[in-house]
Amino acid sequence: MGIKSLATVVEKTKIDQSKQSLEKQINSINHFLEKLVTNKSKNIAKGEREYESIQDFIANIRKEINSHLSHLEKKLCNEAETVLKEEKSKAMDLITEIEGKQKILKKMQDHLHIVIPHTSKLQSFLSVHQIEHQVHQCQRYVEDTENDERVREFEIKMKQNDELKKILIKLGSFESLGEVLVVKTVTDIMTMHQAPKDSQDQSYINNMTMNIETKIEINTRSIRDMICLMDGRVIVVKSGDKINLLTSDGKLQKKLPIPGRALSVTQINQNTIAITYPKEEAIKIFNLENETVAKVIKLYKQCYGLSFSNNSLAVGLSDDEIRIIDLEGNTLKSIQLESGSYLRNLVYCNERVIYSDTNCTSNVVYSFDVLGEKIWQYTQDLEGPEGLCTDTYGNIIVADYGSNSIIIISKDGQDSKVLIGDLPMIGEEDGLEGPFRICLKHNESSGFICDSTCLAKFKLSSG
CATH of the domain at 435: 2.120.10.30
Burial of 49 (0-12, 13-18, 19+ CB in 10 A): middle
- Domain assignment present for 176: no
- Domain assignment present for 11: no
- Domain assignment present for 161: no
Considering the domain architecture, whether residues 301 and 394 belong to the same structural domain is answered as yes
pLDDT higher than 60, residue 423 = no
pLDDT higher than 80, residue 18 = no
d(CA 355, CA 345): 6
Which amino acid, one-letter code, is at 113?
A: H
Q: What is the DSSP string of 28-47?
A: HHHHHHHHHHHHHHHHHHHH
pLDDT in tens, 385-416: 999 999 988 899 999 999 999 999 999 999 99
pLDDT in tens, 162-221: 888 888 888 788 777 777 777 665 554 444 344 444 445 555 788 889 999 999 988 888
- Domain assignment present for 181: no
Please tell me the predicted confidence (pLDDT) of residue 417: 93
pTM of the model: 0.59
pLDDT higher than 50, residue 424 = no
Number of structural domains (the chain) is 2
pLDDT higher than 70, residue 1 = no
The mean pLDDT value for 99-105 works out to: 87
Please tell me the predicted confidence (pLDDT) of residue 360: 72
Considering the domain architecture, whether residues 142 and 210 belong to the same structural domain is answered as no
**Domain boundary residue, one of 128, 146, 164:** 146
Please tell me the predicted confidence (pLDDT) of residue 187: 53
Give, in degrees to the nearest 5, the angle at Cα 32 between 29 and 35.
150
Give, in degrees to the nearest 5, the angle at Cα 379 between 378 and 384.
120
Considering the domain architecture, whether residues 238 and 338 belong to the same structural domain is answered as yes
d(CA 33, CA 461): 44
- Nearest Cα to 275, choosing from 301, 245, 297? 297
**Domain boundary residue, one of 125, 146, 167:** 146
Considering the domain architecture, whether residues 331 and 411 belong to the same structural domain is answered as yes
d(CA 405, CA 384): 10
CB 305 within 8 A of CB 346: yes
pLDDT higher than 80, residue 3 = no
Considering the domain architecture, whether residues 280 and 404 belong to the same structural domain is answered as yes
Domain limits at 49?
A: 18-146
- Rg of the chain in Å (alpha carbons): 40
Considering the domain architecture, whether residues 111 and 214 belong to the same structural domain is answered as no
Considering the domain architecture, whether residues 134 and 208 belong to the same structural domain is answered as no
- Domain assignment present for 80: yes
- Domain assignment present for 126: yes
The mean pLDDT value for 26-55 works out to: 81
Q: What is the DSSP string of 333-368?
A: EEEE---SS----EEEETTEEEEEEE-SS-EEEEEE
Please tell me the predicted confidence (pLDDT) of residue 365: 95
Residue 264's pLDDT band (boundaries 50, 70, 90)?
Answer: very high
